[in-house]
Structure 1
Amino acid sequence: MPETATAPFTARIVERLSIGPQSRRERIIHSLDGLEAPVAPSDLSSVGEELWYRVQEEIGSELGPLDFLLGLDAGGILPTVALAHAAALPYKIAWKLHLPLEGAVRFSEPHAMRTDVYAYGIAEGQRMLLVDDEVTTGHTLANLAQSLRQAGTTPVAAACLVEDTTRGARELLAAHGVPLVSLSTIGSSR
């Protein structure tokens, strides 16, 4: 029986039990990641629509035309797909796979066990919105934005499901010319 009511989006911080030396001790989990409960397709759609609404509200005319959304594996896949559906825009995913594909842009995810991440099919002049599930320090998206600009593209803004407001990500991304739009926040109020 399909679910008709849309559950509210929720997020919280949990301690990681098995971590590598560079990994963060905590992880933000949320209601779209499917860790604690099954996710109804309507919830995924609703979250994508709400996030797209917020992007348009907060970025507005600065957004301009976009060639695609660029999401990060693995946590960024679901919000990227949901946002692409709501915005009727194509998407690409940056992967932790080094492959012999054209238009490769390499960047770093400093807190991960495998730090190298690659976006493929990137061409000069493209404009994109960066998407991830959570933003804590902002270093990954800042590294991505810098690498994309060096490749001649324009990362217009970043969107996420959850922003940890205690670690300065919003300020770091603003300093890199990437305004951040978040669906929800954890930490002190912004």
Structure 2
Amino acid sequence: MSKHGMVETENSAGERLSRASDAVRRLTRWHDDFPSPGVRFADLTPVFADASGFHAIVDCLGGVAGEVDIVAGVDARGFLLGAGVATALGTGVLAVRKAGKLPPPVISREYTLEYGSAALEIPADGVELAGRRVLLLDDVLATGGTLAAAAELFRDAGAEVVAAGVVLELSFLGGRERQGDYPVTSIVRL
């Protein structure tokens, strides 16, 4: 398959979205008060462990951007998505890591999330990012801090985030409004 062979017609993309959405709705496990009181955690592990469900998600997310040079997956479940989509698209993949997991030098960005704060990092050298077109992937879009921080990392490195994709969006938390001018695709919006 060519580097961008997964970009499809609108009808075909709709069918893939329907298959992926069905898998997410059927297989997601929900946990109340995890990791802290008041948070309802969406466990996508069963979705990713299901061969047809994972394949449908990779197919769907692979079609959300046109020409991309690299796929970036956000720590940690985004790594799974990024690797699958990058393989399907024929691009490289870059892991956006939690702070302290990469050797220096790094580009770092702090952000807030619904149950605390954190920081993300990407390499400051060793991977040429300037001028590259990035597809950014994560599992869940909640308050939007994680995805926005990851996009800012790539902007700081001179790259352009051309699209972002998530498996599940908790739209009532308003995370989409925190994103940049790149399109954001979610397989399931709640």
Contact 1:105–1:122 (Cα < 8 Å) also in 2: no
Displacement of 1:114 in angstroms is: 6.5
Residue 115 (structure 1) aligned with residue 135 (structure 2): no
- Which structure shows the bigger proportion of residues in helix conformation? 2
Identify the residue that residue 36 of structure 2 maps to in structure 1: 19
Residue 90 (structure 1) aligned with residue 107 (structure 2): no
Question: Where in structure 2 are the equivalents of 1:118-137 lying within 5 Å?
Answer: 118-120=121-123, 121=127, 123-137=129-143
1:140 to 146, 149, 160: 146
Displacement of 1:159 in angstroms is: 0.5
1:28 to 34, 37, 42: 42
- Measure, in 1, the Cα distance between the counterparts of 2:35 and 2:176: 28
TM-score normalised according to structure 1 size: 0.72
RMSD: 2.7
Q: Residues 151 and 66 of structure 1: is their aligned pair in 2 closer, same or farther, counting only changes over 3 Å?
A: same
Give the percent of matched residue pairs that are identical in Structure 1 and Structure 2: 24
Count of matched residue positions in the alignment of Structure 1 and Structure 2: 163
Displacement of 1:47 in angstroms is: 1.7
One-letter identity of the residue aligned with 1:184 = V
One-letter identity of the residue aligned with 2:109 = F
> Could you give the per-residue CA deviations for residues 72-105 of structure 1, whole angstroms, max 9, x where no partner exists?
1112122222222332322111112433345x22
- Measure, in 2, the Cα distance between the counterparts of 1:91 and 1:183: 21
1:71 to 73, 78, 93: 73
TM-score normalised according to structure 2 size: 0.72
Identify the residue that residue 58 of structure 2 maps to in structure 1: 48
One-letter identity of the residue aligned with 2:97 = W
Q: Which runs of 4+ in 1 moved over 4 A?
A: none
